[in-house]
Amino acid sequence: MQRPFAVFDIDGTLIRWQLYHAIVDELARQGHISKKGYDAIRHARMNWKRRAPGASFKTYEAELIRVYVDSLSNLSPTKLEEAAKAAFEEYKDQVYTYTRDLIAELKAKDYLIFAISGSHAEVVSKMAGHYGFDDFIGTEFVSNKNQLTGEVIAAYHDKDLSLKKLVNRNNATYSGSFAVGDSLSDAKMMELVENPIAFNPDADLLAHARQKGWRVVVERKNVIYQLGKDGNSYLLA
């Protein structure tokens, strides 16, 4: 029998930080990223945190990815696995209450639970095991024997295609399905399900959710706000 599913983004949706970024930080601590490169990352991060003119999370993230990808030829799969394990141990329980409880609630109702994340498959697999996900797709960094090649199979593009792959290989049904995401890169997978939830959405996803009339949920400190569509506005539900 086909089972309904719920699919979750991980970074900023379940975990309160970005696992991709946590792995890069760990690799820098271990000396696998140059000081000059990591200084550039930290400068971009602080500009974003200070809300400097022209700075944004996207510009910071683009700088982090640029420096990291430039460092791939110096990394081995073993080093990457070690960094993924360290990031997992630090952040595995630093989660949002809403999404953690939603996973538990839907698992109890016999839903299949999926994850589609732009973070490294090495750390996404650990999170999937920790929270009882049935299947996942994460970003893969291709290796040749004992060295990373620099080739990246990114999971943050075309999340709709990734979701279709998960649904097909697990014989799931879209009937009653859920998808939870926090950025516009999640929108394509969210459009495929019956119950999309924009959780702590960025400005782009919020605008898209408003256009589509999707449910919006915000968790701030120890309060969860569920917003309902009222004409062109959202009100506390």
Please give the domain boundaries of the chain with CATH numbers for all domains. Answer: 3-16+93-236 (3.40.50.1000)
The pLDDT tens digits of the residues spanning 14-47 come to 999 999 999 999 999 999 999 999 999 999 999 9
- Residues 6 or more apart whose Cβ sits within 8 Å of residue 138: 115, 117, 118, 119, 120, 121, 122, 123, 124, 125, 155
Q: At 52, is the secondary structure helix, strand, or coil?
A: coil
pLDDT at 227: 87
> Could you tell me what percent of the chain has a pLDDT over 70?
98
Query: For residue 7, which of 213, 200, 189 has the smallest C-alpha distance?
Result: 189
> Mean pLDDT over residues 48-53, rounded?
92
Amino acid in the structure at residue 41: I
Question: What are the structure tokens assigned to 75, written together?
Answer: 């990394």
According to the model, what pLDDT value does residue 4 have? 98
Which pTM was predicted?
A: 0.91
What is the spatial distance between Cα 73 and Cα 62, in angstroms, rounded to a whole number?
19
The answer to whether residue 237 scores a pLDDT higher than 70 is: no
All residues at 6 or more sequence positions from 130 whose CB lies less than 8 Å from its CB, including other chains: 88, 92
- 195 within 8 A of 179, measured Cβ to Cβ: yes
d(CA 115, CA 143): 23
pLDDT tens per residue across span 138-191: 999 988 878 888 888 888 789 999 999 999 999 999 999 999 999 999 999 999
Tens of pLDDT, residues 79-129:
999 999 999 999 999 999 999 999 999 999 999 999 999 999 999 999 999
